[in-house]
């Protein structure tokens, strides 16, 4: 099956018992055993559930990998993945990871003896230089949240593997529509399914994908042992969202390209970062590894910094001032006070995450309406 067909059909069906074209929601905590020592494939939903299993198979097919494990949030997917490591293990991570991920690494996982080094993974040499004898994984995000830094997945994956490390990619921003990190050697692909994959601001969810059976077993063991699993109903909503992933991503990207060009030409905008713009420092890398566009995330800074940015964010009417991203509605965010507020100021400064940075998650509305909204908001500053 081609990618678009997989999005629509990989959830399987029709249901063999009723013919229902939509996968049933098995909203059940437990499953009755026919006799002692036998079950019908399921016993307790923390360990596995038919609806969750169907979502995991659908997502694995779309990502082009063998195994998927669904979690209750993107964060719990990252947390469950990190628990495959042991005290004393070292991880090299992209410096501009989502604020919640660096908070988990720095304030929680370090308490259990994991060590982290942050590098600008857009420069593969920095990754190589940070690897130590106890490094067990290289972890990247591409494009990153919120600075949209792009990493050459193949180059960094090769460095990780040459050093005998696992290579993991948070591919939330790119989605398998634009990028399949597994094709470039990633051992683990992680998504916050809260974002583009479910796509409708309905659920919080996460997913780990791999071709490696041993890793998959560990991820399943973590579902069962730590229990950070999504409800069957949330799995159902993600499955339905995935069916239009290809259509939504095409529109997110098309709209974002037009808005990035508009912002770049705007006299009140100081700087625009979008991987699809030739001005992006790693545009050529993005062009080579992303297919069908560059997703829907843009970050920009206004002339007049934080004051102008605040005014703009308070003046938009169609764009929603909200924390999340990757849904059908256009959302505007102020990373310094919202998504990345808990990243310490000195770290934000070092990363170039300025107080004036505005993040736009371009939705799938008519682009003319989004542009008109930005126009009226700009007029007031």
Chain contacts with ligand PLP (rule: CB under 6 A) = 73-75, 98, 100-101, 141, 145, 170, 172-173, 192, 194, 204, 206
Complex with ligand PLP: residue 135 or 339, whichever CB lies closer: 339
Residue 377, CA distances (Å) to 1, 270, 334 in order? 45, 16, 15
CB of 3 to ligand PLP, least distance (A): 22
Q: Which of 98, 177, 196, 294 is catalytic?
A: 98
Complex with ligand PLP: residue 77 or 308, whichever CB lies closer: 77
CB of 147 to ligand PLP, least distance (A): 12
Residue 212, CA distances (Å) to 85, 166, 182, 345 in order? 16, 11, 11, 39
Rounded Cα distance between 222 and 216, Å, is 10
- Give the rounded distance of the alpha carbon of 225 from its chain centre: 24
Rounded Cα distance between 263 and 302, Å, is 10
- Give the rounded distance of the alpha carbon of 49 from its chain centre: 24
Active site residue 38: no
Judge contact between 49 and 26, C-beta under 8 A.
yes
Complex with ligand PLP: residue 101 or 209, whichever CB lies closer: 101
Q: 361: part of which helix (H) or strand (E)?
A: strand 357-361
Judge contact between 252 and 69, C-beta under 8 A.
no
CB of 190 to ligand PLP, least distance (A): 7
Cross-strand bridge partners of residue 169: 140, 189
Q: Which two tokens stand for residue 65?
A: 């990998």
Judge contact between 7 and 63, C-beta under 8 A.
no
CB of 101 to ligand PLP, least distance (A): 6
User: How does DSSP classify residue 348?
Assistant: H
HSE at residue 206, side-chain half, CA atoms within 13 A, is 21
Complex with ligand PLP: residue 90 or 340, whichever CB lies closer: 340
Residue 40, CA distances (Å) to 15, 29, 36 in order? 16, 14, 12
Active site residue 195: yes
Cross-strand bridge partners of residue 166: 137
Complex with ligand PLP: residue 96 or 373, whichever CB lies closer: 96
CB of 174 to ligand PLP, least distance (A): 10
Q: Which of 95, 96, 170, 187 is catalytic?
A: 170
Active site residue 98: yes
Is 380 strand, coil or helix? coil
Q: Which two tokens stand for residue 200?
A: 């409708």
Rounded Cα distance between 269 and 368, Å, is 19
CB of 118 to ligand PLP, least distance (A): 15
Rounded Cα distance between 242 and 8, Å, is 7
Complex with ligand PLP: residue 50 or 205, whichever CB lies closer: 205
Rounded Cα distance between 236 and 203, Å, is 10
Q: Which of 136, 180, 195, 248 is catalytic?
A: 195
CB of 208 to ligand PLP, least distance (A): 12
Active site residue ranges: 46, 98, 170, 195
């Amino acid at each position: 099956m081609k990618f678009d067909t997989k999005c629509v059909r990989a959830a399987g069906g029709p249901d063999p018992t009723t013919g229902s074209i939509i996968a049933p929601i098995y909203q059940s905590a437990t499953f009755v055993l026919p006799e002692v020592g036998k079950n019908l494939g399921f016993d307790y939903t923390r360990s596995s559930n038919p609806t969750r299993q169907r979502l995991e198979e659908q997502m694995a097919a779309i990502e082009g990998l063998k195994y998927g494990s669904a979690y209750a949030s993107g964060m719990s997917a990252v947390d469950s993945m990190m628990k495959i490591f042991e005290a004393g293990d070292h991880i090299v991570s992209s410096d501009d990871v989502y604020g919640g991920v660096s908070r988990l690494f720095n304030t929680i996982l370090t308490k259990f003896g994991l060590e982290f080094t942050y590098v600008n993974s857009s420069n593969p040499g920095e990754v190589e230089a940070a690897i130590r004898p106890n490094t067990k994984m290289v972890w990247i995000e591409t494009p990153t949240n919120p600075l949209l830094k792009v990493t050459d997945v193949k180059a960094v994956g090769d460095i990780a593997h040459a050093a005998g490390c696992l290579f993991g990619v948070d591919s939330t921003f790119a989605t398998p529509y634009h990028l399949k990190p597994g094709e470039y050697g990633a051992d683990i692909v992680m998504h916050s399914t809260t974002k583009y994959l479910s796509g409708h601001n309905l659920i919080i969810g996460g997913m780990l994908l791999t071709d490696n059976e041993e890793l998959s077993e560990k991820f399943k063991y973590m579902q069962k042992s730590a229990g950070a699993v999504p409800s069957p109903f949330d799995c159902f909503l993600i499955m339905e969202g995935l069916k239009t992933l290809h259509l939504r991503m095409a529109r997110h990207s098309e709209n974002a390209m037009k808005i990035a060009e508009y912002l770049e030409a705007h006299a009140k905008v100081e700087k625009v970062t979008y991987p699809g713009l030739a001005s992006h420092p790693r545009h050529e890398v993005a062009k080579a590894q992303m297919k069908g566009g560059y997703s829907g995330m843009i970050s920009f800074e206004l002339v007049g910094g934080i004051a102008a940015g605040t005014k703009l964010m308070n003046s938009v009417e169609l764009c929603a001032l909200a924390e999340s991203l990757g849904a059908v509605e256009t959302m505007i965010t102020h990373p310094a006070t919202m998504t990345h507020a808990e990243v310490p100021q000195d770290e934000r400064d070092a990363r170039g995450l300025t107080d004036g940075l505005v993040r736009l998650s371009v939705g799938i509305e008519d682009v003319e309406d989004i542009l008109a909204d930005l126009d009226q908001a700009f007029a007031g500053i």
